[in-house]
Amino acid sequence: MNEYIELANLIFPNVTETIEDLEKRYPPRNLNKDALITRFAPSPTGFLHTGSLFMTLVNYRFAKQTNGLFYIRLEDTDQKREIKGTGITLLNELKEFNIIPDEGYLGDHEEGKYAPYIQSKRANIYDIVIKELIKRGLAYPCFMSSEELEELRRMQEKKKIRPGCYGKYAKYHSITPKEAIERIKNNEPYVIRFKSSGNELNKISVYDEIRGKLELTENDLDIIIRKKDGLPTYHFAHLVDDHFMRTNLVIRGEEWLPSLPIHYELFKTMNWQFPKYAHTPTVQKVSDTGGRRKLSKRYDEEAAVSYFFNYGYPKTGLIEYLLTIINSNFEEWRLANPYTNNNEFKLSFDKFSSDGALFDMDKVKNICKEVLSKMTKKEITDETYTWASTYDLELKQLIDRDRSYFEEIMNIEREIEKPRKDYEKYSDIKESILFFYDDYYNEMLKEELPFNSLISKEDTLNVLNTFKKENDPSLNETDWFNNLKRIATLCGFCDNVKEYKKNKEAYKGHIGDVASIIRITMCTKTKSPNLYNILQILGKDRYEKRIEQVIAKIK
Ligand code: GLU
């Protein structure tokens, strides 16, 4: 028997299937030729990072817009780094953004014909391929001990030479099968390495969908493909999984760009179709010193997608913000199509900037304001309710008391051509509307009211009494305001601010002061949504009662 075959059988006595069997079990997908098959391949090492959401969104949208397929694969081969239970959290967080995979690892189960989608369950599949490589003399067992490797690393560092196992440093590159068999029979521990035939003096030419044509140095590293624990490294799992899951576009973070020559050589050696690649820019932030740094789990709260959930930023707002950093023409599209669902926007690689994606929280906030202002009263009520059900039970109860009352409150300056941008997140809402509820109002009334100290108590009381008598809630907004001016004049206030400024002594104050007295009386605050709407929503009985309560309080 050929010695390579003997070696392969010694290492994998139980592996009987072949690559041909795998090709049959996982056939090319039956999709249109332009359909893109993409995936998100998280390692279960924590929460959903905002940068991962960015990348997943790109993967998901390209699959959807080409009638392709998007799946999720759990990359848990680095079991030392794994945090149990985080896989399902990631999936649930994606679901919040309506990013629902067509197949793959779905948190509590797996779905799809290309299963298993959890790498630690695929050891047998990797072994089938590795066995074949060993038979063909393209992979070999390496017996270097960790001490030897550490020494190699130190020496390379000291001499300032490129680190790694290549050329003369790949000690077992040319080991004969005979020697390997002997050492294995002697129970010497080993890993399996890929036998590179590359040369660092050669260049390869590869195409990246975002970066265009790239000239890269050929790989010559004998990378580990099977670790001592029997699991593959990222590179080898990428080769086998993306081939047999039939991914045709690998969209992943730019930190993988330097390993592209390794992947190129692996695919070439197998004679498998090289997928398309797009390496997305890292999501960065302007640092305190003005430079740029990676958006980091450790320093930035907004690096965790859960941050946006906790505060109740509208999810569409975050997605729209990410779309603005993914494609430079998104904002223009949004202006031209203010009410169209962003799913209609087609992503393109040529509008992608490869120059670091800068995360700008102020812009996120502005977009969220915009998004919230464009919701109908029903939409914002439903969304606020969903958010409050998890994050603010007091607010949920307020909505439960009377949903249509809450909708009316939310409808202030909404569903009009230029809606008011009051809120940036759901957690802003409660504080600004509590006064609409009498029990809360009564509590708030116990505090001192912020009336302007330059206006005397008598004048304040006079304004309140006159308003109570003269206000007509049946008027439309313009007429109501004219009537308020009339009330101001009756009380000795000027109905025009400019006029007032020219001749302050002649007046008790101006129309703004009158409105402010009414506002404070209704809301206990100097800032509020539109006063006319507040009075309409409270209705005559309740606003009159509030006037009486305030009069009694300040008298
Ligand atoms: N598990 C890898 C990571 O989290 C996946 C990279 C890829 O998409 O290929 O970085």
- Give the pLDDT confidence of 470-510 residue by residue, as tens digits: 999 999 999 999 999 999 999 999 999 999 999 999 999 99
Distance separating alpha carbons of residues 242 and 37, to the nearest angstrom: 10
| Helix or strand holding residue 451 (H, E) | none
Q: Which two tokens stand for residue 423?
A: 């809120």
The answer to whether residues 472 and 414 belong to one domain is: no
Q: What's the pLDDT band for 80 if we cut at 50, 70, 90? A: confident
Cα 78 to averaged position of ligand 1 atoms, centre (Å): 12
Distance separating alpha carbons of residues 135 and 179, to the nearest angstrom: 15
Return the higher-pLDDT residue of 388 and 108.
Answer: 388
Q: What is the pLDDT of residues 130-143, one digit of tens each?
A: 999 999 999 999 99
Q: Look at residue 82 and tell me if it is in a domain.
A: no
Q: Which of 236, 265, 280 is the last residue of a domain?
A: 280
Contact residues for 299 (Cβ-Cβ < 8 A; gap 6+):
none
Token pair 């199509």: residue:
337
Q: What mean pLDDT do residues 279-301 have?
A: 90
Ligand 1-lining residues (CB < 6 angstroms)? 41-43, 75, 238, 252-253, 256
Q: Look at residue 298 and tell me if it is in a domain.
A: no
Q: What is the pLDDT of residues 82-105, one digit of tens each?
A: 777 778 889 999 999 999 999 999
Token pair 């949920």: residue:
396
Q: Is the pLDDT of residue 108 over 90?
A: no
Distance separating alpha carbons of residues 430 and 398, to the nearest angstrom: 9
The pLDDT assigned to 333 comes to 97
Distance separating alpha carbons of residues 217 and 202, to the nearest angstrom: 6
The answer to whether residues 427 and 386 belong to one domain is: yes
The answer to whether residues 454 and 537 belong to one domain is: yes
The residue whose C-alpha atom lies closest to atom 3 belonging to ligand 1 is 42
Q: What is the pLDDT of residues 261-276, one digit of tens each?
A: 999 999 999 999 999 9
Q: Which atom of ligand 1 is nearest to the CA of 45?
A: 4
The pLDDT assigned to 1 comes to 62
The CATH number of the domain holding residue 549 is 1.10.10.350
Query: Which of 20-34, 161-175, 288-302, 391-405 is predicted least confidently?
Result: 288-302
The answer to whether residues 426 and 537 belong to one domain is: no
Cα 89 to averaged position of ligand 1 atoms, centre (Å): 17
Q: Look at residue 50 and tell me if it is in a domain.
A: no
The answer to whether residues 494 and 390 belong to one domain is: no
The answer to whether residues 513 and 398 belong to one domain is: no
Q: What is the pLDDT of residues 232-249, one digit of tens each?
A: 999 999 999 999 999 999
Q: Look at residue 167 and tell me if it is in a domain.
A: yes
The CATH number of the domain holding residue 248 is 3.40.50.620
Distance separating alpha carbons of residues 236 and 194, to the nearest angstrom: 9
Q: Which atom of ligand 1 is nearest to the CA of 40?
A: 8
Q: Look at residue 44 and tell me if it is in a domain.
A: no
Q: Which of 280, 307, 334 is the last residue of a domain?
A: 280
SS3 for 67-134 is CCEEEECECCCCCCCCCCCHHHHHHHHHHHCCCCCCEEECCCCEECCCCCCEHHHCHHHHHHHHHHHH
The answer to whether residues 391 and 470 belong to one domain is: no
Q: What is the pLDDT of residues 397-409, one digit of tens each?
A: 999 999 999 999 9
Q: At what angle do helices 86-96 and 50-65 cross, to 10 degrees?
A: 60
Distance separating alpha carbons of residues 333 and 340, to the nearest angstrom: 10
Return the higher-pLDDT residue of 425 and 85.
Answer: 425
Residue 62: left if φ>0, alpha if ψ -120 to 50, beta else—which one? alpha
Q: What mean pLDDT do residues 44-62 have?
A: 93
Q: Look at residue 235 and tell me if it is in a domain.
A: yes
The answer to whether residues 276 and 128 belong to one domain is: yes
Q: Which atom of ligand 1 is nearest to the CA of 252?
A: 8
Q: Which two tokens stand for residue 228?
A: 């001592």
Domain count, the chain: 3
Q: Tell me the residue range of the domain where 396 lies.
A: 377-436
Residue 266 CA, chain-centre distance (Å), reads: 32
For all residues of the chain together, what is the average pLDDT? 96
The answer to whether residues 245 and 127 belong to one domain is: yes
Q: What mean pLDDT do residues 344-351 have?
A: 96
| Cis bond before residue 116 (omega within 30° of 0) | yes
The pLDDT assigned to 82 comes to 73
SS3 at position 324: helix
Q: Look at residue 383 and tell me if it is in a domain.
A: yes
Under a CB-based contact definition with an 8 Å cutoff, are residues 470 and 483 in contact? yes
